[in-house]
Structure 1
Amino acid sequence: MTLGQAQINLHEVVQEVTRLFLDYESALMRNDADALNAYFWRHPAVTRYGINDRQLGHEALVAYRAAVPAPDFTRTLHDVRITAFGPDMAVAMCEFKRSDTDLHGFQTQTWVRLPEGWRIVSAHVSMVPFQPGLSP
Protein backbone atom coordinates (compact mmCIF):
# COMPACT_ATOMS: atom_id res chain seq x y z
CA MET A 1 0.00 0.00 0.00
CA THR A 2 1.30 3.43 -0.86
CA LEU A 3 0.61 6.59 1.05
CA GLY A 4 -1.21 9.12 -1.11
CA GLN A 5 -0.46 12.85 -1.00
CA ALA A 6 -3.82 13.42 0.71
CA GLN A 7 -2.55 11.35 3.65
CA ILE A 8 0.52 13.51 4.24
CA ASN A 9 0.12 16.11 6.99
CA LEU A 10 -3.51 15.49 7.85
CA HIS A 11 -4.43 18.65 9.76
CA GLU A 12 -5.95 16.91 12.78
CA VAL A 13 -2.95 14.58 13.14
CA VAL A 14 -0.44 17.43 12.91
CA GLN A 15 -2.42 19.40 15.51
CA GLU A 16 -2.68 16.43 17.89
CA VAL A 17 1.00 15.48 17.69
CA THR A 18 2.08 19.12 17.99
CA ARG A 19 0.13 19.40 21.24
CA LEU A 20 1.68 16.16 22.54
CA PHE A 21 5.16 17.29 21.51
CA LEU A 22 4.77 20.59 23.37
CA ASP A 23 3.32 18.79 26.41
CA TYR A 24 6.36 16.49 26.34
CA GLU A 25 8.63 19.56 26.31
CA SER A 26 6.83 20.95 29.35
CA ALA A 27 7.23 17.63 31.21
CA LEU A 28 10.92 17.58 30.24
CA MET A 29 11.54 21.01 31.71
CA ARG A 30 9.65 20.03 34.90
CA ASN A 31 11.62 16.77 35.04
CA ASP A 32 8.32 14.89 35.39
CA ALA A 33 9.75 11.40 34.95
CA ASP A 34 6.38 9.66 35.19
CA ALA A 35 4.90 11.82 32.43
CA LEU A 36 8.01 11.45 30.25
CA ASN A 37 8.00 7.67 30.64
CA ALA A 38 4.31 7.54 29.73
CA TYR A 39 4.93 9.29 26.40
CA PHE A 40 7.14 6.40 25.30
CA TRP A 41 6.00 3.04 23.96
CA ARG A 42 6.24 0.46 26.74
CA HIS A 43 8.15 -2.07 24.70
CA PRO A 44 11.68 -3.52 24.55
CA ALA A 45 12.08 -2.12 21.02
CA VAL A 46 11.65 1.54 22.02
CA THR A 47 14.89 3.45 21.42
CA ARG A 48 16.15 6.80 22.67
CA TYR A 49 19.54 8.22 21.78
CA GLY A 50 20.47 11.15 24.00
CA ILE A 51 23.34 13.61 24.05
CA ASN A 52 25.62 11.35 26.13
CA ASP A 53 23.40 8.35 26.66
CA ARG A 54 21.16 5.78 25.03
CA GLN A 55 18.21 3.73 26.19
CA LEU A 56 17.26 0.50 24.44
CA GLY A 57 13.87 -0.63 25.71
CA HIS A 58 11.34 0.97 28.03
CA GLU A 59 12.93 -0.45 31.21
CA ALA A 60 16.22 1.26 30.36
CA LEU A 61 14.35 4.49 29.67
CA VAL A 62 12.60 4.37 33.06
CA ALA A 63 15.92 3.70 34.83
CA TYR A 64 17.56 6.60 32.99
CA ARG A 65 14.78 9.04 33.86
CA ALA A 66 14.96 8.02 37.55
CA ALA A 67 18.65 9.00 37.61
CA VAL A 68 18.46 12.29 35.70
CA PRO A 69 18.41 15.43 37.85
CA ALA A 70 16.05 18.30 37.13
CA PRO A 71 17.46 20.58 34.43
CA ASP A 72 19.26 23.70 35.64
CA PHE A 73 18.80 25.34 32.25
CA THR A 74 16.00 26.49 30.00
CA ARG A 75 15.35 25.50 26.40
CA THR A 76 13.98 27.55 23.56
CA LEU A 77 12.53 25.55 20.67
CA HIS A 78 13.02 26.68 17.08
CA ASP A 79 11.73 25.40 13.76
CA VAL A 80 9.35 22.82 15.21
CA ARG A 81 8.25 20.60 12.33
CA ILE A 82 5.61 17.92 12.59
CA THR A 83 5.17 15.71 9.54
CA ALA A 84 2.29 13.24 9.61
CA PHE A 85 2.22 10.12 7.47
CA GLY A 86 -1.38 8.98 7.42
CA PRO A 87 -3.59 9.00 10.52
CA ASP A 88 -1.31 6.95 12.78
CA MET A 89 2.31 8.06 12.39
CA ALA A 90 4.17 11.34 12.65
CA VAL A 91 7.70 12.61 13.02
CA ALA A 92 8.35 15.59 15.29
CA MET A 93 11.56 17.54 14.76
CA CYS A 94 12.94 20.71 16.23
CA GLU A 95 16.05 22.67 16.87
CA PHE A 96 16.65 24.09 20.32
CA LYS A 97 18.91 26.39 22.23
CA ARG A 98 19.79 25.74 25.85
CA SER A 99 20.62 28.56 28.25
CA ASP A 100 23.76 26.80 29.54
CA THR A 101 25.70 26.22 26.31
CA ASP A 102 26.53 27.67 22.92
CA LEU A 103 25.90 24.31 21.28
CA HIS A 104 22.93 23.94 18.93
CA GLY A 105 20.42 21.21 19.72
CA PHE A 106 18.43 18.93 17.44
CA GLN A 107 15.62 16.62 18.49
CA THR A 108 13.60 14.04 16.55
CA GLN A 109 10.76 11.86 17.79
CA THR A 110 8.79 9.25 15.87
CA TRP A 111 5.20 9.06 17.16
CA VAL A 112 2.83 6.17 16.41
CA ARG A 113 -0.84 5.90 17.34
CA LEU A 114 -1.11 2.60 19.23
CA PRO A 115 -4.18 1.07 20.92
CA GLU A 116 -3.18 2.92 24.13
CA GLY A 117 -2.80 6.24 22.28
CA TRP A 118 0.06 8.19 20.70
CA ARG A 119 3.50 7.02 21.86
CA ILE A 120 7.08 7.86 20.98
CA VAL A 121 8.70 4.74 19.50
CA SER A 122 12.06 6.32 18.68
CA ALA A 123 13.81 9.52 19.75
CA HIS A 124 17.15 11.19 19.14
CA VAL A 125 18.71 14.29 20.71
CA SER A 126 22.04 15.84 19.76
CA MET A 127 23.94 19.03 20.43
CA VAL A 128 26.70 20.27 18.15
CA PRO A 129 28.59 23.39 17.18
CA PHE A 130 26.49 24.78 14.36
CA GLN A 131 26.50 27.76 12.06
CA PRO A 132 23.13 28.39 10.39
CA GLY A 133 23.39 28.80 6.65
CA LEU A 134 26.41 26.51 6.29
CA SER A 135 25.75 23.18 4.66
CA PRO A 136 28.23 20.45 3.77
Structure 2
Amino acid sequence: MEINNPEVVEEVRALFERYEQALIDKDVDVLDATFWNSPLTIRSAIHENGFGFDEIHAHRVRRPPGPGIKLNRRRLVITTLGRDIATVHLEFDMRGRDMPARQSQTWVRLPDVGWKVVLAHVSVTESSPAY
Protein backbone atom coordinates (compact mmCIF):
# COMPACT_ATOMS: atom_id res chain seq x y z
CA MET A 1 0.00 0.00 0.00
CA GLU A 2 1.34 3.40 -0.94
CA ILE A 3 1.27 6.01 1.82
CA ASN A 4 0.85 9.68 0.89
CA ASN A 5 0.84 9.46 -2.87
CA PRO A 6 1.29 13.18 -3.73
CA GLU A 7 -1.52 13.13 -6.30
CA VAL A 8 -4.00 11.64 -3.82
CA VAL A 9 -2.88 14.00 -1.02
CA GLU A 10 -3.53 17.00 -3.26
CA GLU A 11 -6.90 15.63 -4.34
CA VAL A 12 -8.01 15.28 -0.71
CA ARG A 13 -6.49 18.66 0.20
CA ALA A 14 -8.55 20.37 -2.51
CA LEU A 15 -11.74 18.70 -1.29
CA PHE A 16 -10.95 19.64 2.32
CA GLU A 17 -10.36 23.29 1.34
CA ARG A 18 -13.62 23.31 -0.63
CA TYR A 19 -15.41 22.03 2.49
CA GLU A 20 -13.76 24.67 4.70
CA GLN A 21 -14.88 27.45 2.35
CA ALA A 22 -18.39 26.00 2.24
CA LEU A 23 -18.52 26.25 6.05
CA ILE A 24 -17.77 29.97 5.85
CA ASP A 25 -20.22 30.51 2.98
CA LYS A 26 -22.88 28.20 4.45
CA ASP A 27 -23.04 26.40 1.13
CA VAL A 28 -25.22 23.53 2.29
CA ASP A 29 -25.06 21.82 -1.11
CA VAL A 30 -21.26 21.55 -0.89
CA LEU A 31 -21.38 20.61 2.80
CA ASP A 32 -23.87 17.83 2.05
CA ALA A 33 -21.89 16.67 -0.99
CA THR A 34 -18.79 16.31 1.20
CA PHE A 35 -20.37 13.77 3.56
CA TRP A 36 -21.44 10.22 2.79
CA ASN A 37 -25.23 10.13 2.51
CA SER A 38 -25.66 7.24 4.92
CA PRO A 39 -27.17 6.59 8.35
CA LEU A 40 -23.68 5.29 9.27
CA THR A 41 -21.98 8.69 8.84
CA ILE A 42 -21.04 10.39 12.12
CA ARG A 43 -20.02 13.95 12.90
CA SER A 44 -19.28 14.82 16.51
CA ALA A 45 -18.55 18.46 17.20
CA ILE A 46 -18.53 21.06 19.94
CA HIS A 47 -22.07 22.31 19.28
CA GLU A 48 -23.67 19.25 17.64
CA ASN A 49 -23.51 15.53 17.27
CA GLY A 50 -24.89 14.09 14.06
CA PHE A 51 -25.51 10.39 13.85
CA GLY A 52 -26.42 9.77 10.24
CA PHE A 53 -26.49 12.04 7.23
CA ASP A 54 -29.97 13.42 8.00
CA GLU A 55 -28.94 14.72 11.45
CA ILE A 56 -25.76 16.23 10.01
CA HIS A 57 -27.76 17.94 7.26
CA ALA A 58 -30.29 19.32 9.77
CA HIS A 59 -27.48 21.00 11.70
CA ARG A 60 -26.03 22.45 8.49
CA VAL A 61 -29.35 24.11 7.69
CA ARG A 62 -29.62 25.65 11.20
CA ARG A 63 -26.00 26.84 11.38
CA PRO A 64 -25.41 30.55 10.61
CA PRO A 65 -22.94 31.52 7.87
CA GLY A 66 -19.61 33.06 8.76
CA PRO A 67 -16.14 32.09 9.89
CA GLY A 68 -17.43 29.91 12.71
CA ILE A 69 -15.13 28.83 15.50
CA LYS A 70 -11.83 28.80 13.60
CA LEU A 71 -9.57 31.77 14.21
CA ASN A 72 -6.43 30.52 12.47
CA ARG A 73 -4.74 27.28 11.52
CA ARG A 74 -1.86 25.82 13.46
CA ARG A 75 -1.24 22.57 11.63
CA LEU A 76 -2.86 20.54 8.84
CA VAL A 77 -1.91 16.88 8.36
CA ILE A 78 -3.29 14.80 5.49
CA THR A 79 -2.45 11.11 5.37
CA THR A 80 -3.52 8.89 2.49
CA LEU A 81 -3.53 5.10 2.65
CA GLY A 82 -3.53 3.76 -0.86
CA ARG A 83 -5.75 5.61 -3.31
CA ASP A 84 -9.08 5.34 -1.50
CA ILE A 85 -8.64 6.16 2.22
CA ALA A 86 -7.43 9.37 3.83
CA THR A 87 -7.41 11.14 7.15
CA VAL A 88 -7.32 14.89 7.62
CA HIS A 89 -6.38 16.49 10.92
CA LEU A 90 -6.49 20.23 11.53
CA GLU A 91 -5.31 21.92 14.69
CA PHE A 92 -6.52 25.51 15.00
CA ASP A 93 -7.03 28.39 17.39
CA MET A 94 -10.64 28.69 18.43
CA ARG A 95 -12.45 32.01 18.64
CA GLY A 96 -13.09 33.04 22.23
CA ARG A 97 -10.95 30.31 23.78
CA ASP A 98 -7.35 30.35 24.86
CA MET A 99 -6.71 26.78 23.83
CA PRO A 100 -6.30 24.84 20.62
CA ALA A 101 -9.06 22.89 18.94
CA ARG A 102 -8.88 19.94 16.60
CA GLN A 103 -10.83 18.70 13.64
CA SER A 104 -10.38 15.19 12.25
CA GLN A 105 -12.02 13.59 9.24
CA THR A 106 -11.90 10.16 7.68
CA TRP A 107 -12.36 10.27 3.91
CA VAL A 108 -13.12 7.25 1.73
CA ARG A 109 -13.35 7.09 -2.05
CA LEU A 110 -16.62 5.20 -2.57
CA PRO A 111 -17.76 3.55 -5.81
CA ASP A 112 -20.10 5.72 -7.86
CA VAL A 113 -19.93 8.75 -5.50
CA GLY A 114 -16.21 9.51 -5.08
CA TRP A 115 -14.53 10.94 -1.98
CA LYS A 116 -16.79 11.33 1.05
CA VAL A 117 -16.28 12.04 4.74
CA VAL A 118 -17.57 9.05 6.69
CA LEU A 119 -16.48 10.21 10.15
CA ALA A 120 -15.70 13.68 11.50
CA HIS A 121 -14.85 15.05 14.91
CA VAL A 122 -14.21 18.53 16.33
CA SER A 123 -13.04 19.12 19.89
CA VAL A 124 -11.25 21.59 22.17
CA THR A 125 -8.16 20.55 24.08
CA GLU A 126 -6.27 22.04 26.98
CA SER A 127 -2.82 21.73 25.50
CA SER A 128 -1.10 21.28 22.20
CA PRO A 129 0.47 17.89 21.47
CA ALA A 130 4.21 17.40 21.22
CA TYR A 131 4.21 16.02 17.68
TM-score normalised over the length of structure 2 = 0.88
Structure 2 equivalent of residue 108 of structure 1? 104
Flag the 1:80–1:53 CA change in 2: closer, same or farther, 3 A.
same
> 5+ residue gaps in structure 1?
none
Corresponding pairs, count: 129
| Distance in structure 2 (CA, Å) of the matches to 1:71 and 1:15 | 26
RMSD, aligned α-carbons = 1.8
Secondary structure class of the residue paired with 2:97: coil
Q: Which moved more, 1:98-107 or 1:56-65?
A: 98-107
Segments ≥4 residues shifted beyond 6 Å: none
- Contact 2:24–2:67 under 8 Å retained in 1: no
Instruction: Give the letter aligned to residue 49 of structure 2.
Output: R
Q: Aligned-pair distance for 1:70?
A: 2.1
- Selected match of 2:81 from 85, 109, 116: 85
Structure 2 equivalent of residue 63 of structure 1? 58
Please say if 1:9 is aligned against 2:4.
yes
| Distance in structure 1 (CA, Å) of the matches to 2:127 and 2:5 | 32
Provide, for residues 74-116 of structure 1, a one-character-per-residue CA deviation record: whole Å limited to 9, x for no partner. Answer: 5312210000000001000010113333231100000011121
- Contact 2:105–2:117 under 8 Å retained in 1: yes
Provide, for residues 53-77 of structure 1, a one-character-per-residue CA deviation record: whole Å limited to 9, x for no partner. Answer: 2101101111111111223655312
Structure of larger gyration radius: 1
Instruction: Give the letter aligned to residue 122 of structure 2.
Output: V
Structure 2 equivalent of residue 126 of structure 1? 123
Q: Aligned-pair distance for 1:132?
A: 5.7
Please say if 1:117 is aligned against 2:117.
no
Flag the 1:132–1:88 CA change in 2: closer, same or farther, 3 A.
closer
| Distance in structure 2 (CA, Å) of the matches to 1:119 and 1:31 | 18
* Identity over aligned pairs, percent: 38
Flag the 1:15–1:132 CA change in 2: closer, same or farther, 3 A.
same
| Distance in structure 1 (CA, Å) of the matches to 2:114 and 2:34 | 9
